[in-house]
Chain A
Amino acid sequence: MLEIDGLTARYGRAQILNGVSLTLGDNEVVALLGRNGAGKSTTMKSVMGLVRQTGGSIRHGGQEIRGRASHTICRAGIGYVPEDRRIFGELTVEENLEVGRRPAREGAPQWTTEHLFQLFPNLAERRRNLGKQLSGGEQQMLTIARTLMGNPSLVLLDEPSEGIAPVIVEQMANVISELKREGLSVLISEQNLHFAREVSDRAYIIEKGTMRYEGKFSDLDANPEISTKYLAV
């Protein structure tokens, strides 16, 4: 589904990614773990074509997508949920969903507003409210729903559990399971090991723009020194 190989990227003069490699299989949920500033968001933005990548390759369904414009990457079936949500605050919930709407694509589940309102009942009640009037948790739901309106086959979820109430985190975990059941692949970046373990099949650990670990959660639990070294704050 997604193969990243030797990816390097920079902001201005600062090199942030020093050769990141990662693969994600069909219908797999994979966690990208790492401390604050490790390069998780930059990896996701690179896939979306939102930062300047300087080298390496990003292949999606066998096709090289590195260097393409971000709207074509989205149209290829990659949905992106940014960590800072980036809701359109002056648009209503329904209008936010409208911005994300894309035609149906083969090989990916098709979402409708009604279906998404079932998945996120809070949003249904607030469909005519402006984005900026929503709570943090509701905004997080809305960004995910907005991305799903594009009928992606792969979703990049950047820290979905960050800064929201525990009840909602639980709801978020259910949503991710639902996405997997629908046949989507998900790459999820997390600092919250507990949440990541609950929803994902495998994990990568990134530190200072370099991959340090790849494997199952069971191995990670068997070797606690790894998480202490790269994840503990």
Chain B
Amino acid sequence: MGFYLAQLLTGLANASSLFLIASGLSIIFGVTRIVNFAHGSFYMLGAYLAYTLVTTLQGGIPGYWFSVLAAAVLVGGIGLVVELTILRRIYRAPELFQLVATFGVVLIVQDATLAIWGAEDLLGPRAPGLDRAVRLMGEPIPEYDLALIAIGPAVLAAIWLVFHRTRWGVLVRAATQDREMVGALGVNQAWLFSAAFVLGSALAGLGGALQIPREAVSLQMDLSIIGEAFVVVVIGGMGSVTGAFVAAVLISVLNAFAILIFPQVSIVLPFVVMAAVLIVRPYGLFGRPGSEHGGAEEPEQPLRLLDQRSTMVLLALVAMLAFSPAVVSDFTTILLVDVMVATLFAVSLHFMMGIGGMVSFGHAAYFGVGAYAAAMAVKMLGWGMLPAMALGPVAAALAALFFGWFCVRLSGVYLAMLTMAAAQILWGVTFQWQEVTGGDDGILGVWPAEWAKSDRVYFYLALVLCLGGIWLLRRVAHSPFGYTLRGVRDSRIRAEAIGIDTRFHQWMGFTLAGTLAGLAGVVFVFSKGSVFPDALSIGHSIDGLIMVLLGGIHALAGPVYGAMAMVLIEDWVSRLDYWRFIFGGIILTVVLLAPDGIAGGVRRLIQLVRRDAA
């Protein structure tokens, strides 16, 4: 009995930490509609700052709590800087751009933290006065856990009071429902957004600061928490603080007991719970559909078929690509294969987002399934390269068919979150199922068949497969199916009114995009000779998003530019120290200077040059 009580209390203590970070994320999303990937970075900064303050102050009980609060305030200040210098400039850009910008912040904070605090994990001191364990029903319970269990509800109550008893809180709640109307009633949204962002960041900082007696402060804190924090926000309903609390308790307590039965479950459990909740309640436990008003996004412009001149340019580029192995070094040839793989991956994601109107935070899952299926066919079934290459996309299609069926029941951010959940589940399985997938060690030695061994031959094989895949997606985009899909994207209601089965079309679009991501994965695995769980990770999915968005979502050429830029920049900067800092800086520069992506930026540049010439 006592053992279960101890388990429950551990769960509740975890719930408090999770709630602190998730509540801030939820407030920020509710008011600004920004999916803030940098929230985990604020959490990490809170921990590092608290560590430094506690260890330098050495001030006993008051010193400890002062440090915790000061760290939260400082992180709130950092949040303010990020809001004022970056996000405020792009509130009118499509929502996903802000997401990419926050990811740029993640990269910059990573390297800034590394530069300031070093790569070593830091072990914080215990909380003075709360450094022992009390015995409850014979089980030792850390006093600090009990304190955390009290802090969570106390913070919830404080937020509730602010939201219901102050004018600012009332405005925040109103803006969560219909921010455009709040503006029309004379409220300067910019300041409301800043304040919400500061409060949210400070809560993340507080969550991180309170964590130092419980876990080592490390550079992995940011991305390790962000997935779970998103899950909590989504389960609770985006924008609902109470929902975040209930969801944090639900996840943490379930987890505390589930690991007793099945120890590996931790990685996937939150995502499974989220998928289950979203299917029953598409807006989370306490969430409501957001207002349709005040969306910043411009309606999509129609895609144009290429005119003759652009077709010539494109053909010339392909021809240059085709002849390149004759002129360039082997190293460049290999790099070009990377570019082609990334391009196909990005084009397939663009198809899903730009044409299908479904944003995915988990597209890498299908890339990874394709790669793993081919690798496993070679290694375990002893298949040849070509049959394995055929199996990859089929496996990816099946996975996309399965998860897509759930995802297309939702829309917007919730759909995106469910795609992320699906990817996380697949990643968890790959990571943990050591005997079959090799777990963390991946699958090695997956080389092309004898005839395709040379870099050049493989280059041509990759060229045929990737160009074929891109050509297929373009054909479909301009087929009746593609037009229907765009109709569904622009107005689901209108499409339904004329008798289109919108879900079915989206489901098929999802599956097609997944299949071609799988093809990209196949080309990838044989060019590298190995595959690791990274291929399915959130990080890789975000790479895809960055390529699509930086390239420009409105143009079919967008993902091509994006992928080229991404691979070349990564190849260049990843050899430097602090490459994340540089890469994050590049992302922010593009986002701030060309909110319509590289394709839009290039188009505007051409217009500018032409006007000057005329």
A interface list, Cβ under 8 A from B: 11-13, 48, 50, 69-71, 74-75, 80, 82, 86, 88-91, 95-96, 98-102, 146-147, 150
Q: B178 on the interface (CB 8 Å rule)?
A: yes
Most buried by A among B171, B180, B184, B186: B186
Q: How distant is A127 from chain B, measured CB to nearest CB, in Å?
A: 14
Q: A86-B181, A95-B170, A99-B182 are in contact. Are A11 and B187 (CB under 8 A)?
A: no
Most buried by B among A11, A86, A102: A86
Q: How distant is B282 from chain A, measured CB to nearest CB, in Å?
A: 18
- Give the 10 A-B CB pairs with smallest separation, nearest first: A12-B299, A74-B186, A86-B181, A99-B174, A88-B174, A70-B183, A100-B185, A70-B184, A71-B183, A95-B170
Q: B307 on the interface (CB 8 Å rule)?
A: no
B293–A86 CB distance below 8 A = yes
- The residue of chain A having its C-beta at the shortest distance from the C-beta of B180 within the complex is A50
Q: B188 on the interface (CB 8 Å rule)?
A: yes
B301–A90 CB distance below 8 A = no
A88–B177 CB distance below 8 A = yes
Q: B167 on the interface (CB 8 Å rule)?
A: yes
Q: In the complex, which residues of chain B have a beta carbon less than 8 angstroms from the beta carbon of A147? A: 185
Q: How distant is A113 from chain B, measured CB to nearest CB, in Å?
A: 13
Q: How distant is A89 from chain B, measured CB to nearest CB, in Å?
A: 7
B299–A146 CB distance below 8 A = no
Complex Cα spacing A80 to B180, Å = 12
Question: Per-residue 0/1 for B83-121: is the Cβ within 8 Å of any A Cβ (1 yes, 0 no)?
Answer: 000000000000000000000000000000000000000
Q: How distant is B241 from chain A, measured CB to nearest CB, in Å?
A: 12
A12–B170 CB distance below 8 A = no
Q: In the complex, which residues of chain A have a beta carbon less than 8 angstroms from the beta carbon of B174? A: 88, 91, 95-96, 99
Q: B173 on the interface (CB 8 Å rule)?
A: yes
Q: CB within 8 A of A13: which of B177, B185, B301? A: B301
Q: How distant is A173 from chain B, measured CB to nearest CB, in Å?
A: 24
- The residue of chain B having its C-beta at the shortest distance from the C-beta of A99 within the complex is B174
Q: A88-B178, A91-B170, A99-B170 are in contact. Are A11 and B299 (CB under 8 A)?
A: yes
Complex Cα spacing A96 to B173, Å = 10
Complex Cα spacing A177 to B188, Å = 31
Q: In the complex, which residues of chain B have a beta carbon less than 8 angstroms from the beta carbon of A71? A: 183-189
Complex Cα spacing A69 to B88, Å = 14
- The residue of chain B having its C-beta at the shortest distance from the C-beta of A80 within the complex is B184
Q: CB within 8 A of B173: which of A13, A75, A90, A100? A: A90
B185–A99 CB distance below 8 A = yes
Complex Cα spacing A11 to B301, Å = 12
Question: Per-residue 0/1 for B428-458: is the Cβ within 8 Å of any A Cβ (1 yes, 0 no)?
Answer: 0000000000000000000000000000000
Question: Per-residue 0/1 for B182-201: is the Cβ within 8 Å of any A Cβ (1 yes, 0 no)?
Answer: 11111111000000000000
A13–B184 CB distance below 8 A = no
Complex Cα spacing A88 to B169, Å = 14
Complex Cα spacing A81 to B135, Å = 62
Residue count of chain B within 8 Å CB distance of chain A? 24
Q: How distant is B289 from chain A, measured CB to nearest CB, in Å?
A: 11
Complex Cα spacing A50 to B185, Å = 12
Q: A88-B178, A90-B177 are in contact. Are A102 and B186 (CB under 8 A)?
A: yes
- The residue of chain B having its C-beta at the shortest distance from the C-beta of A149 within the complex is B185
Q: How distant is A86 from chain B, measured CB to nearest CB, in Å?
A: 5
Contact sample, A vs B, 17 pairs, CB 8 Å cutoff: A11-B299, A12-B301, A13-B299, A13-B301, A69-B183, A69-B188, A74-B183, A74-B186, A88-B177, A90-B177, A91-B173, A91-B174, A96-B174, A99-B170, A99-B171, A99-B182, A99-B187
- The residue of chain A having its C-beta at the shortest distance from the C-beta of B298 within the complex is A12
Q: In the complex, which residues of chain B have a beta carbon less than 8 angstroms from the beta carbon of A12? A: 298-299, 301
Complex Cα spacing A88 to B178, Å = 7
- The residue of chain B having its C-beta at the shortest distance from the C-beta of A74 within the complex is B186
Complex Cα spacing A91 to B171, Å = 10
- The residue of chain B having its C-beta at the shortest distance from the C-beta of A84 within the complex is B293
Complex Cα spacing A178 to B284, Å = 45
Complex Cα spacing A96 to B181, Å = 11
Q: In the complex, which residues of chain A have a beta carbon less than 8 angstroms from the beta carbon of B181? A: 82, 86, 88
- The residue of chain B having its C-beta at the shortest distance from the C-beta of A96 within the complex is B174
Question: Per-residue 0/1 for B163-179: is the Cβ within 8 Å of any A Cβ (1 yes, 0 no)?
Answer: 00001001101100110
B185–A146 CB distance below 8 A = yes
Q: How distant is B191 from chain A, measured CB to nearest CB, in Å?
A: 10
Q: In the complex, which residues of chain B have a beta carbon less than 8 angstroms from the beta carbon of A146? A: 185
Q: In the complex, which residues of chain A have a beta carbon less than 8 angstroms from the beta carbon of B291? A: 86
Most buried by A among B183, B185, B189, B298: B185
Complex Cα spacing A89 to B173, Å = 10
A86–B178 CB distance below 8 A = yes
Q: How distant is B84 from chain A, measured CB to nearest CB, in Å?
A: 17
Q: How distant is B184 from chain A, measured CB to nearest CB, in Å?
A: 5
Q: How distant is A126 from chain B, measured CB to nearest CB, in Å?
A: 17
A74–B185 CB distance below 8 A = yes
Complex Cα spacing A50 to B183, Å = 9
- The residue of chain A having its C-beta at the shortest distance from the C-beta of B239 within the complex is A90
Beyond the given A71-B186, A90-B173, A146-B185, could you list 17 further A-B residue pairs with CB under 8 A, ordered by the A residue number? A12-B299, A48-B184, A50-B180, A50-B184, A71-B183, A71-B188, A74-B184, A74-B186, A80-B184, A88-B173, A88-B178, A90-B288, A91-B173, A95-B173, A96-B174, A147-B185, A150-B186
